Amino acid sequence: MTTKLFGEPVRRREDPRLLTGRGLYLDDLAPGALQAAFVRSPHAHARIRDIDVSAAIEVDGLVAIYTWEDLPGALAEPLPLLIPHPALTHGRTAYPLAREIVRHVGEPVVMVVARDRYLAEDACALIEVDYEILKPVVGVEEAAQSAQLVHADVPGNVGAHLVQEVPSTAGLGAREAIDAAPHTLAFRLDIERSASMPLEGRGVHARWDADDRSLRVHSSTQTSTSVRMAIAAKLGLPLPKVEVVAPDVGGGFGVKIVHPWPEEILVPWAAITLGREVKWTEDRREHFVSSAHERAQVQSVRVGFDDEGRILGLDVEILHDHGAYTPYGIIVPIITSTQLLGPYKIGAYRVEFSSIYTNTVQVTPYRGAGRPQAVFCMERTMDHIAEHLGIDRTAVRAANFVQPDEFPYDQGLIFQDGRPLIYDSGDYPESLRLLKELIGWDDFPGLKARAAAEGRAIGIGIGCYVEGTGVGPYEGGHVQITSDGRVHVSTGLTSQGQGHETVFAQIAAAELGVPLERVSVVTGDTRRFGYAVGTFASRAAVMSGNAIALACRKVKEKALRIAAEALEADPRDLEIVDGEVRVVGAPGSAIPLATVAVLSNPLRYAFDAEAARATQFAGASSFDRPPVAEGEEPGLEGRDYYSPIRSTFASGMHAAIVETDPLTAEIRILRYAVVHDCGNLINPMIVEGQIHGGVAQGVGGALYEKMVYDGHGQLLNASFMDFLMPYATEVPFVETAHLQTPSPLNPLGIKGAGEAGVIPVSAVIASAIEDAEGIRIDRMPISPSDLFDLRRAAPGRSTAGT
Amino acid sequence: MKPPPFEYHAPRSLGEALDALAGAGEHGKVLAGGQSLIPLLNMRLVAPAHLVDINRLAELAAVDVEPGGVRVGALARHAAVERSGEVAAAQPLLRQALRLVAHPVIRNRGTVVGSLAHADPAAELPAVLALLKGSIRLARPGAVRDVAAEDFFTGPLESAMDPGELAVSAFFPAPPPRSGTAFREVARRHGDYALAGIAALVALDDEERITSATVACVSLGPVPVLVDVTEAVGHRPPESADWASAARAVQDRIEPEADIHATAAYRRHLAGVLTEQALRDAAREAVGA
Amino acid sequence: MHEITLTVNGVVRQASVPARRLLSDCLRHDLGLTGTHVGCEHGVCGCCTVLLDGEPVRSCLTFAVTVDGHDVTTVEGLADPDGTLSPVQRAFAECHGLQCGFCTPGFLCTVTALLRDNPAPSDEEVLEGISGNLCRCTGYQNIVKSVHRAAEIMAEEPWAGAAGSPRVVPEDPRAGEAGDTSR
């Protein structure tokens, strides 16, 4: 690094436009476009007998109505199953518009296009769909035992079943190890459904250029490159004739990585068919019932351990509610089962999951992606062991930590990227020490006693996690320095608030030695960079950050080579400072990068004064080789890719102090402390922001948010009135400390930070409430009403006031 | 989530408004603050054929402090009533309750009378009107009637207002001398509808003994349940009053229901806790009055 | 259709709208001011908050036709005409008070009014003031920090930030009974 930009809390370059209303989100585009709306199933499980559109046709401003019957070719086939897996023996995906059967409330049945959204909704309201109602399957345990089937050809509603087993070093299986252990415990845990719930829903806009026979699509997506390929495949278009751009995206948190959503192929198809621009902007109600949820699992745990709390064997069986379809494969339960071990090395491990279909909205990753459930399981286990043995909860954790000298540490499992789960670096004992200091763990018993004397109940909780971040296969970066000295950086993955424009510019400016203001960054635009995977799994900084650094190094190398020739110096004696290539130690001898860019591209025609320096009679070239030497390309630009051998593992530990009201059972978080290790920090301000936001979503998942389905498969709280995302008044102040254990796997030594904040929160809050109340907490979220019920059910406790 | 079409009426006078509403009959709805109505329209859960927008009737925005209490016009926003020092002096319970109504931005637009007319048993203001034994003035062309709170709220989102009538104002009587009020509630998030709430009014005699104690309940029945707990607390000074007995009396009277946020048993429990807390608060205020 | 006239960010604008046109849609689609965002269309998230006669309101819970003749300030009107960001906007940038930026316009409008009415709010007053706005990215901590920082900037630069928050004196609440009082 040549400048101090890397690691500095540089202010975001996204902000000026976002603060003045000049951001461009999906619905801000194409004011004249036709608008789409959908008739969606009001039933969880039904057969479509008839669709009568006759009344809707009368709506003034109606342009088109489409049902499944209208869809041509590949568009009429089920949506792709994005991530096949051998264990997903019965993967099922939906049709873009329902064909015969609907399997959850909200499934799209009819697409309407009209002059505006009001009129489109008027037409939707007049379309009559005749349904034969079928018995719905709701609740993962019910579904696992039900004779009713979500998909007629999926026996037992089991989409996937996977067992992974890691024997102990002595060769014992987990069940044997548990049976042989001095102590054993068995318990069951429950985690309810939540959802990403970005404040901007999904949305798609498509424009067909009939003359050019090309399609431009904007989508509020986490992966524009892959949406592009899906559209080309589904609509039978040549890939170069399709471009997809992610505009400003109002949050994603996982739900926008799924693709192609039905609307992402239907809207472009309608635009081509109608020869008109068409736009669809998801409304909030649609987002609740037609996108995706996550989290719901039931876990059965058996654990065997010794007198110090060291785990000798752990056996976890997971029922994972996958909703009606599996477009994103079984990534979520795979992550739960492989990330469950956290910072611990245990004797033997067996994990088994069944992925179960229900007549509810499909389940795909939401920030944390299966890890909150995994950490809830492991950390509840740690607390139960501590309680059983009567020792401090942090001591049990410390007894099980992977030690700093044991990296790389192989957990013996296959991770979500299909590669071995090997921790690259970390320092868990130091994390714990920092956390205990930050929250005042050792002083807490005194605090608790004083509170009790005042009639107040407070408790402290802890949760630790390890997070595989920066999964492959790859990302790329392209860097171009133009003859005005500006640096243009592009990468294929998308942004939805993480500040990529800023951090990637920091990386490029630091690598190239140019002022930050000269760097501009474009993400998520296939016109600029066509090869990418997407923004998920805390991978953007690791993947694109390193790819951009590598691309910069290529460009820098070329710049030094060209400058060396111009300066008649050895490239090894050159450095780039402030946008100028200088001879080290000879400040008078320098050439601006702008000039190097001019020299990099031999020209015939001078379009401006700078360009004149590169034309054939300017005298800059040598006569003994062609103007563009063999192996060279014109221009000062470079492209490179970063493809890691495997994921890099960030880690962290959280602690909280909560107070529970003895009368009302209200739960208040008094303090929340985070120690986080994501390797080298590119921009600490942005990393802190990611942690704050993650913790807030975690608090939502711990105390407020759940999707409530009734027995008919109706989502009872499909609104912000009843799906309780926390406001400012519900989120604690987060105290943070950072540990920086660089990753040895990538050039920048960084690890992902995007999801971390949310991962352990449910475990931490459960631990703290349990400590305050002396009552087992084994399901989340927990409401005051739930706590009241637990108090009443607890032996030897009476509730005041009744 | 776009509202269905409707015939829009923008009367410039009260007379025009009443005529428009009378003409629309049961197909008409009044638009005042719109903070409850427009969400229902956007979700297409209601589809009135006629919407009578009273926002141009500045005369209905009046908030008048009268010797006997506070009269709030149909267009007076929550925020205006909440901020008025005169109102707070004349009837402190209004500000105490309004601070718990949704969020400040909603209160900038929502109206007190609109909230009463909506008759949501989970809302604060119906309980306030019930506790204070206030009334609502209903008008139709050529006729005006005042309906007492106890007769006005007839069920969840149901009131004694007839189709075609306009609620033009509400009257909140001033507190008796040597009395105090309080409002306590528990909500899931700050600003949410209460899981349970209690408005309390306690009056003392010259020896600072309790002469009357009443509470009105939020989210604990189909209407704001009014419970006179004077006998239960006893004709005693607040420090020796039997608040627990009052709590039990309230718990005996209410009919809480379960929903996705709370069980009926928890609501009943809260009713007891909040009754005690609100009565103590009100008594403390009465002693200081 | 109704012909309406609004003064938006100080400019008189006219639009022809159906009665059911939400103010949010009118601003965004009829007047092209897409800085006001729509997050829930049932009044809970606060993304669509604008200043109506200086007071923050939900534009998704307001019909455009209702506010015919009134004054509206949107996020586009918060900066000075020369482009200088208002103290609130600057504070949000300084304190990393935004991530995806979708909820931000609603927060900016709400906070602009909050600080006009209460130039030095306590923590609790800040929380109460922004309690009706959802943010899914920031966890609010840096938003709270931004509000305090904006208050500081306004105290340091009393000349800054008057834009976008016209103070409207409430109408004189006239006495007088509504309608016929014969009964």
Residues B233 and B282 in one domain: yes
Residue B109 lies in a domain: yes
Is residue B45 situated within a structural domain? yes
Contact call for A693 and C44, based on CB within 8 A: no
Contact B273 A664 (CB under 8 A): yes
List of chains touching A (3+ CB pairs within 8 A): B, C
Residue B211 within a domain: yes
Q: Which domains does chain C have, with CATH numbers?
A: 2-77 (3.10.20.30), 87-156 (1.10.150.120)
Is-cis flag, bond preceding A404, omega within 30? no
Write out chain C residues lying below 8 Å of B41, CB-based: 20
- Show which of B153, B173, B193 is a domain's final residue: B173
Residue type, A230: A
Q: Tell which A residues from 459 to 488 touch C, by Cβ distance under 8 Å.
A: none
Cβ–Cβ contacts within 10 Å for residue A142, how many?
Answer: 14
Residue ranges making up the domain that contains B40: 7-53
Per-residue pLDDT at B289 = 75
- Let me know: does B174 contact B70? Beta carbons within 8 Å: yes
Judging contacts by C-beta atoms under 8 Å, the chain A residues touching residue B247 are 801
> What are the tens digits of pLDDT across the range C44-69?
999 999 999 999 999 999 999 999 99
User: Both B49 and B32 in a single domain?
Assistant: yes
Asked if B38 lies within 8 A of C63 by C-beta distance, the reply is: yes
For A272, the token pair is 């081509």
Quick check: B61 and C56 CB within 8 A? no
Residues B273 and B224 in one domain: yes
Residues B63, B156, single domain; the answer is: yes
- Nearest to C131, CA basis, from A497, A705, B38, B106: B106
Q: What is the mean pLDDT of chain A?
A: 95
Residue C155 has pLDDT above 60, yes or no: yes
Find which of B108, B111, B147, B166 to mutate to test the C interface (most C CBs within 10 Å of its CB). B108
Q: Examine the domain organization and report whether B35 and B69 are in the same domain.
A: no
Identify the pLDDT of residue A75. Answer: 98
| pTM summary value | 0.96
| Residue numbers in C near A202 (CB within 8 A) | none
Residue A250 contacts C, CB cutoff 8 Å = yes
**Nearest CB to B191; choose among A666, A727, A802:** A727
Q: What are B286's two structure tokens?
A: 């009465």
Residue of A nearest to B262 (CA): A785
Mean pLDDT lowest among A24-28, A618-622, B3-7: A618-622
- Specify whether the CB–CB gap between B39 and C42 falls below 8 A: yes
The pLDDT score that the predictor gives to residue A621 is 65
Please indicate, yes or no, if residue B2 is contained in any of the structural domains.
no
- Asked if pLDDT for residue A340 goes beyond 50, the answer is yes
What ipTM is given for this predicted complex?
0.96
Among B122, B157, B173, the domain-final residue is B173
How many domains are contained in chain B? Answer: 3
Model confidence band, residue A586 (pLDDT cutoffs 50, 70, 90): confident
Q: Are A174 and A315 in contact (CB under 8 A)?
A: yes
- Do both B150 and B75 map to the same domain? yes
Q: Assess whether B169 and B262 both reside in one domain.
A: no
Best mutation target among B250, B269, B274 (most A Cβ atoms within 10 Å) is B269
Enumerate the residues of chain A whose CB falls inside 8 A of the CB of residue B265. Answer: 788-789, 792
Are B17 and B88 contained in the same domain? no
pLDDT of A768 higher than 80: yes
Report the largest interatomic distance among the alpha carbons of chain B, rounded to a whole angstrom.
62
Is residue C167 less than 8 Å (CB to CB) from chain B?
A: no
Dihedrals φ, ψ of A42, to 5°?
Answer: -85, -5
Residue A284: list chain B partners with CB under 8 A.
1
Domain identity same for B136 and B192: no
Per-residue DSSP letters for A408-433? SEEEEEE-TTSSEEEE----HHHHHH
Tell whether B234 is covered by a domain.
yes
Predicted confidence (pLDDT) at residue C163 exceeds the cutoff of 70: no
Is C49 part of the contact surface with chain B (CB cutoff 8 Å)? yes
Shortest distance, CA B49 to any CA of chain C (angstroms): 12
Nearest chain B Cα to C66, which residue?
Answer: B55
Give the domain CATH number at B223: 3.30.390.50
Whether A669 has a pLDDT exceeding 60, the answer reads yes
Domains contained in chain A, CATH given: 32-134+196-290 (3.90.1170.50), 297-471+645-793 (3.30.365.10), 473-642 (3.30.365.10)
Comparing CB atoms, the residue among B5, B43, B137 nearest residue C42 is: B43
To the nearest whole Å, the CA of C168 is away from the closest chain A CA by: 23
pLDDT at C168 over 70: no
CB C131 within 8 A of CB A728: yes
Q: How far is B67 from chain A (nearest CA, A)?
A: 38
A353: number of Cβ within 10 Å? 25
In a domain, B77, yes or no: yes
Query: For residue B1, is it within any domain?
Result: no
The minimal CB distance from C20 to the residues A31, A118, A253 is found for: A118
Provide the pLDDT confidence category of residue C174 given band limits of 50, 70 and 90.
very low
Of C10, C53, B44, B58, residue with least CA distance to C23:
C53
Task: Using an 8 Å CB-CB cutoff, list chain B residues near A730.
Answer: 189-190
Is A689 close to C92, i.e. CB distance below 8 A? no
| Same structural domain, B169 and B156 | yes
Do B136 and B214 fall into the same domain? Answer: no
Task: Quick: pLDDT tens for A478-516.
Answer: 999 999 999 999 999 999 999 999 999 999 999 999 999
